[in-house]
Structure 1
Amino acid sequence: MTDYPRLSAGDSASSFTLPDQNAAPVSLADYAGRKVILYFYPAAMTPGCTTQACDFRDSLGALGAAGYQVLGVSKDAPEKLATFAARDGLTFPLLSDPDLVVHRAYGAYGEKNNYGKIITGTLRSTIVIDESGTVELALYNVKAKGHVAMLCRKLGLAA
């Protein structure tokens, strides 16, 4: 079986440290006492991932005002993430997880249906973590388009 256990509300969020787009280490512990939106996406600069990242970028005001920090995670190298951030004006940390350790810890890796073919890869997922490090919301296999607006509705925020 290639699926990893998915998280549910009330679970403890696993600690991690990953390099960001500038190769600087970013840890979940850096955001202790703050709310975090940790989202996993398959690949930087692909159409769906660009749509989703730009939607998060465009919603940072509302999310930040409500106390949320957005962190994007993919298996891309920091250099590619830096290009993605610069190309699309992404001002939140993009984290590199090439060994998929954090993907697996958060249940964001496994089997998925890609145009009718079952493959193993990143599951587009969003985990909302509260100030105490507890999972508040875990969403798996989300759609790129419209996801941020749906997430804001679930969190009771205006996007």
Structure 2
Amino acid sequence: MNTLAAGNRAPEFSLPDLDGRPVRLTDFRGRKVLLVFFRYATCPFCTVRFVRLAQEAKRYADAGVQIIGVFESSAGYIREYLGRRGLPFPVIPDPDGKLYALYGVRKSVPGLLFGMFRLPTLLRALFDPAYRMAQPDGSLTRIPANFLIDENQIVVDAYYGNDIGDHIPFARIDHFAAGTVTGNMRHV
């Protein structure tokens, strides 16, 4: 599986969002994009991250950054488990993993095991009144990834998580939004 690095052109895609409307990367040419590959809709680690991104969505939009979320879940599962929280940015269901493959987002058994040590994040999800445990609707071994894509659709930062709870730090997104990202910030 090929991974992306800073300086690569972001692979073009066109997939339907939860409402069946096409989401195309080219539609965001001229804007910065944060492309977030979550695991599945009931993943407690991804739920915590999703909630935080939803809280920051307006601030990032005001700074010119469009967030696009991708879940390995079906549209129905995403609506059922995340829809009641509100979806402040486009969310793409990708149960077949086509977009994951296109961006080199991997699976890892060690990443599953090491991720379980993120106890504070796990507890935060489990005590969230809106969170409900349910059957996973995606691969247990899927590892998250995040891509910061500039206005010309060039990858500025390719962040491949090391475990199931590892997402790009918000400080890196903030630097990207402010235009202060420099160098190859690839993380694998």
Provide TM-score, normalisation by structure 1. 0.83
Shift of residue 112, structure 1, vs aligned partner: 4.2
Which residue in the other structure is 2:72 paired with?
75
Which residue in the other structure is 1:45 paired with?
42
Residue 88 to residue 148, structure 1, CA distance change in 2 (3 Å): farther
Letter in 2 for 1:130: D
Rounded Cα–Cα distance in structure 1 between residues aligned with 2:82 and 2:54: 10
Rounded Cα–Cα distance in structure 2 between residues aligned with 1:105 and 1:12: 12
Rounded Cα–Cα distance in structure 1 between residues aligned with 2:166 and 2:5: 23
| Larger relative strand fraction | 1
What SS does structure 2 have at the residue aligned with 1:122? Answer: coil
| Larger relative helix fraction | 2
Rounded Cα–Cα distance in structure 2 between residues aligned with 1:56 and 1:28: 19
| 1:1-159 to 2 correspondences below 5 Å | 4-113=1-110, 114-115=112-113, 121-141=141-161, 144=165, 147=168, 149-155=170-176
Summarize deviations over 1:6-61 as a string: whole Å, max 9, x none.
Answer: 11110010110111111222111111111110010111132111101111111112
Residue 124 to residue 84, structure 1, CA distance change in 2 (3 Å): same
Provide TM-score, normalisation by structure 2. 0.72
Rounded Cα–Cα distance in structure 2 between residues aligned with 1:80 and 1:9: 33
Residue 46 to residue 58, structure 1, CA distance change in 2 (3 Å): same
Residue 121 to residue 145, structure 1, CA distance change in 2 (3 Å): closer
Letter in 1 for 2:75: P
Rounded Cα–Cα distance in structure 1 between residues aligned with 2:87 and 2:54: 6
Which sections of structure 1, spanning at least 5 residues, go unmatched? none
Rounded Cα–Cα distance in structure 2 between residues aligned with 1:130 and 1:112: 32
Rounded Cα–Cα distance in structure 1 between residues aligned with 2:169 and 2:76: 25
Letter in 2 for 1:152: I
Which sections of structure 2, spanning at least 5 residues, go unmatched? 115-138, 179-188
Rounded Cα–Cα distance in structure 2 between residues aligned with 1:48 and 1:156: 24
Shift of residue 115, structure 1, vs aligned partner: 1.5
Of all paired residues, the percent bearing the same amino acid is: 28
Taking only aligned residues, the RMSD between alpha carbons, in angstroms, comes to 2.5
